[in-house]
Structure 1
Amino acid sequence: MKRLVILGAGTAGTMVANKLRRRLPLREWQITVVDRDDIHLYQPGLLFVPFGVYRLAQLTRSRRRLLRSGIQFLTGEIERIDPVAKTVRFSDGTAVGYDYLVVATGTSPRPDQTPGMLGAEWRKSIFDFYSYEGSVALADALRDFTGGRLVVHIVDQPIKCPVAPLEFTFLAEAYFRSRGMRDQVEIVYATPLSGAFTKPIASARLGDMLDDRKIVVEPDFLVEHIDPERKVLISYDEREIEFDLLVTVPLNMGADFIARSGLGDELNYVPVDKHTFQSTAYPDVFVLGDAADLPISKAGSVAHFAAETFTGNFCQYVEGHPMTGNFDGHANCFVESGDGKGLLIDFNYDTEPLPGSFPLPVVGPLGLLRENARNHWGKLAFRWIYWHVLLPGRRLPVPTHLSMTGKKQPDKEI
């Protein structure tokens, strides 16, 4: 009996477990999935909680019930991986052995890594929205906010769902307009990047949208610490940004057991081959989703597209054949822009987001780097697709690899 252990029952881990359960004979394989609890959270929905769109029951499911029959599910805190002995050890002293290991434990916000972020003002005037508790607390703060300076802030890249801070900024601007108090709120977007996004074409388009909404961008801002008493962000180059309400995206890091296992970089992300997800140090270890050091956005769509490539590759690998699948870094993300509209970006390792239509030329129906209502409804509809299509391991009728169909260079008419 061959043993496959998957660490993490989030997006990547659940999808891959269900896909491989269909491909690997049950009489020959034991598939075990491990996570710290039995609560699967639909993370894209957290963006909407501060604005009253979703409740907890709409965003959570049992991890165990999302896995196909025949998959063993274990809960426990992972202490470390011993890749030489091929063993995963837990904090209670128990262990599970493996022949092949998939690490899909994601990335998490670490507010403890920025001096002054945690403390007396945490979730009073300083908030996050990458957790359910944080997004609920932020909903209360937005409702009670009477005016002043709102600062939306990113500590450093990479972060999961890198467009989410922009989306929150756009939604907050629309929210204050809807309450008739936009002229009482100054909005500042503080980013460690040189512009609104990592790629120049999208950065220019999103930057124009921020300008149109009279949102001030503070670029190249690398925070050194927060002074909670003065309510000031202070950068390494000694710039200061005052705030009345701070919505921050803390430093993101991989799981601590990655560091204890000696498998990760300084942020606890595991080095892998970016096309096959195979560990560069241990060939029987694969790393998927946000836990890997892939040079692409830590977005759920990356896990969705990567799972297709990985599943075929893994089946080849365990049969002793070369892995022929070649992941190209494909990612696409809806970007909420407020007022019931949004845009879509579609890109990979080598091609930046371009304007156009997706998935078909002209007719779309989704607009690339172009606001329309269809993109907004597409983002909301994705929650149903996530629960009922992606996590069960079914395929979406969109290309796994980036397609240039419908895309145009920005100097051409769209």
Structure 2
Amino acid sequence: MKKLVILGSGAGGTMMANKLATNLEEKDWQITVIDKTLDHHYQPGYLFIPFGMYLPKDVVRPRKNYLSRHIRFIHDEIQSVDAEQNKVHLASGSKIDYDFLIIASGCTIHPEENEGMTGEGWHQNIFDFYTLEGATKLAKFLRGWKGGKMVINIAEMPIKCPVAPLEFSFLADWYFSDKGIREDVHIEYVTPLSSAFTKKVAAAELGHFLEQKNIHVTTEFNLGEVDSEGNKISSFDEQNIDYDLLITIPTNMGAEFIGESGLGDELNFVPTDGKTLRSKEHDNIFVVGDASDIPASKAASVAHFASETLTKNFLRVIEGLDPEPSFDGHANCYIESGFGKGLLIDFNYEVEPLPGEFPLPGIGPFSLLKESKANHWGKMMYRWIYFNMLLRGVDLPIPAKMMMAGKNALHHVA
């Protein structure tokens, strides 16, 4: 019997396990998924918890509900991978052999990597919203906050879901407006990038949003230190920004075992062929989702599209064929813009977000790079689709490769 081991049962790992369980059902394969937690978290939902739109119970489900009965699940912590001996070492002392390995261990925030961040102010007036704990504690804080200067700061790139900090800014504007204290809240968006929207067409189409919402933007700010006693952040080039409330997106890193195993870069992301999704160093290791270093967004939609390509490539490889270089970095992201409306961007490695309609030209129902109520409801419906279709490996009627149909190609193409 051949053995496939999948490390991680987040979005990418669960989708891959279920897709391959279906495709390998009649073949002599054992699929094993390893994860240290028994709950599955809908991470895009963390964004809504600080504003009371979701509760923690809305984003957490038992993992066992979403893995096929044909899959062996091991509840344990991964310590290391011996890629030469094809073994996974677990915290319990167990060793799991594999013929093929799929790394789907995601990425998480590491505030300890940012000097001063986890000092006295941590979860007092410094909060993240990329964890359930951080989002929940921030929700409690915001319910009693009377206003002041809110700074939303991205420590460094890459980060999980690159548009989420912008969405947080827009939802904060809406939330404080509804509370009647918007005039008492100064919102400043601080990024290490050259603009809030990094793609030229998106910047041209959407750049006015922040100004209209009275959200101030500071660009090219590379976080050097957090002074929690003085309530200020400093950049490496000695810029200083004061805050009353700091919303931080700390350094994001891949799983620790990747670094311990010598499989990753300095941030524990696995060097991966961006088109085949196979490890650049080991032919029997594939990577899906946020664990890889491919130049695509670290987002559930990318993991979904990548899982379709990886399923085909895995089946090719076990038949003795070469993987096809067919993944195009497709990402499809709804962006909450507040007040019951949203935006939508659809892009890949080569084509930046363009205006138009999605998925049907002239029909939509979703608008690209244009605010609409339909886009907001697309975002809200995604949770149901995620739990009931994507995780279960159900194919959606949207191809993995990005379509140009419905897009205004007269705009700049990267």
Q: Please report the TM-score for the alignment, with normalisation by the length of structure 2.
A: 0.98
CA distance in 2: counterparts of 1:211 and 1:309, whole angstroms: 40
User: 2:34 is matched with which residue?
Assistant: 34
Structure 1 position 206 matched with structure 2 position 206: yes
Judge conservation of contact 1:310–1:325 (CA < 8 Å) in 2.
no
Runs of 4+ in 1 over 6 A off after TM superposition: none
User: 2:58 is matched with which residue?
Assistant: 58
Structure 1 unmatched runs, 5+ = none
Q: Deviations over 1:254-274 (max 9, x none)?
A: 001101100100100000111
Residue 56 of structure 1, CA deviation: 2.0
CA distance in 2: counterparts of 1:362 and 1:233, whole angstroms: 47
User: 2:260 is matched with which residue?
Assistant: 260
CA distance in 2: counterparts of 1:64 and 1:411, whole angstroms: 46
User: 2:130 is matched with which residue?
Assistant: 130
* Secondary structure in structure 2 of the residue aligned to 1:171: helix
* Secondary structure in structure 2 of the residue aligned to 1:324: coil
Correspondence list, 1:110-125, <5 A: 110-125=110-125
Tell me the C-alpha RMSD between the 2 structures: 1.2
Residue 142 of structure 1, CA deviation: 1.4
CA distance in 2: counterparts of 1:36 and 1:138, whole angstroms: 26
Residue 322 of structure 1, CA deviation: 2.2
Q: Deviations over 1:241-263 (max 9, x none)?
A: 10001101010000011011001
CA distance in 2: counterparts of 1:161 and 1:324, whole angstroms: 27
* Secondary structure in structure 1 of the residue aligned to 2:392: coil
* Secondary structure in structure 1 of the residue aligned to 2:169: helix
Correspondence list, 1:10-409, <5 A: 10-25=10-25, 28-324=28-324, 326-409=326-409
CA distance in 1: counterparts of 2:241 and 2:35, whole angstroms: 39
* Secondary structure in structure 2 of the residue aligned to 1:209: helix
CA distance in 2: counterparts of 1:210 and 1:25, whole angstroms: 51
* Secondary structure in structure 2 of the residue aligned to 1:377: helix
Residue 213 of structure 1, CA deviation: 0.8
CA distance in 1: counterparts of 2:184 and 2:324, whole angstroms: 57
Residue 203 of structure 1, CA deviation: 2.8
Residue 57 of structure 1, CA deviation: 2.0
Q: Deviations over 1:205-252 (max 9, x none)?
A: 333100111111000000100000110010011000100011010100
Size of the aligned set, in residue pairs, is: 412
Residue 64 of structure 1, CA deviation: 2.1
Residue 27 of structure 1, CA deviation: 5.2
Residue 325 of structure 1, CA deviation: 5.4
Q: Which amino acid aligns with 1:60?
A: V
* Secondary structure in structure 2 of the residue aligned to 1:290: helix
Q: 1:99 to 1:339 in 2, by over 3 A?
A: same
Judge conservation of contact 1:104–1:289 (CA < 8 Å) in 2.
yes
Judge conservation of contact 1:196–1:204 (CA < 8 Å) in 2.
no
Judge conservation of contact 2:56–2:136 (CA < 8 Å) in 1.
no
* Secondary structure in structure 1 of the residue aligned to 2:327: coil
CA distance in 2: counterparts of 1:11 and 1:51, whole angstroms: 24
Residue 26 of structure 1, CA deviation: 5.0
How high is the sequence identity, in percent, across the aligned residues? 51
CA distance in 1: counterparts of 2:324 and 2:151, whole angstroms: 46
Q: Which amino acid aligns with 2:391?
A: L
Q: Which amino acid aligns with 1:264?
A: G
Residue 147 of structure 1, CA deviation: 1.5
CA distance in 2: counterparts of 1:336 and 1:372, whole angstroms: 10
CA distance in 2: counterparts of 1:58 and 1:182, whole angstroms: 27
CA distance in 2: counterparts of 1:27 and 1:139, whole angstroms: 49
